[in-house]
């Protein structure tokens, strides 16, 4: 299950540093990052994130969270935000909650695969085994990708392929 890395198929780009106070890379998500409907104690809060060391040509950022282990042929998008200003180098825990004032003005929260314009906590099917949740900050070479509000996370990913200067990644785990 852990052999597939969707980012290995993309054009390689440099990496920069990403950290989280909410979870450590490769560690199990806390209940805060878990879906409230799928797991008792889940709170559906996007993780706190902070990043640095991105290329000087960066003009904006995008943040995504993808589960490549979902029982679909296309994985599952849990979170997608585009158009974060280059001056923003951190997000508070819960910034991905729909309507959160912690998401900077001008940022575009796209619908996840559940149809919610915001963060959806981890929610693997019971008994399916551990799932990886790839939290990625993309350094983008334009201030805006010009995407409409109804853009899918997959379409954001397609556009990021042509505009990503560098990428920072953390992976959280969860299993029911």
- Span 27-36, pLDDT tens digits: 999 999 999 9
Write down the mean pLDDT value for the chain. 95
Rounded to two decimals, the pTM is: 0.96
- CATH code of the region 14-174: 3.90.280.10
Q: What is the mean pLDDT of residues 150-173?
A: 97
Mean pLDDT check: name the lowest of 53-57, 65-69, 126-130: 126-130
- Contact of 74 with 47, CB cutoff 8 Å: no
Distance of alpha carbon 126 from alpha carbon 129, whole angstroms: 8
Tokens of 133: 């949740």
Region of 150 on the Ramachandran plot (φ > 0 left; ψ -120 to 50 alpha; else beta): alpha
Confidence of residue 2 (pLDDT cuts 50, 70, 90): low
Question: Which of 4, 8, 5, 86 lies closest to 51, judged by CA?
Answer: 86
Q: Tell me, what's the pLDDT at 98?
A: 92
168 three-state secondary structure: strand
| 138 has pLDDT over 60 | yes
- Contact of 63 with 137, CB cutoff 8 Å: yes
Distance of alpha carbon 163 from alpha carbon 151, whole angstroms: 16
R_g over Cα of the chain: 15
């Amino acid at each position: 299950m852990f052999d597939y890395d969707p980012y290995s198929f993309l054009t390689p780009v440099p990496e920069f540093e990403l950290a989280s106070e909410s979870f450590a890379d490769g560690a199990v998500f806390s209940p805060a990052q878990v879906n409230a409907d799928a797991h008792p104690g889940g709170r559906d809060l996007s993780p706190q994130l902070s990043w640095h060391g991105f290329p000087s040509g960066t003009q904006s950022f995008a943040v995504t969270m993808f589960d490549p282990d979902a029982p679909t042929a296309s994985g599952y998008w849990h979170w997608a935000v585009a158009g974060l200003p280059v001056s923003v180098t951190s997000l508070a825990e819960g910034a991905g909650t729909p309507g959160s004032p912690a998401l900077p003005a001008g940022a575009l929260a796209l619908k996840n695969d559940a149809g919610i314009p915001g963060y959806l906590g981890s929610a693997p099917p019971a008994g399916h085994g551990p799932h990886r949740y790839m939290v990625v900050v993309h350094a983008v070479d334009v201030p805006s990708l010009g995407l409409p509000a109804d853009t899918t996370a997959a379409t954001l990913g397609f556009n990021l392929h042509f505009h990503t200067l560098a990428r920072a990644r953390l992976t959280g785990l969860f299993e029911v």
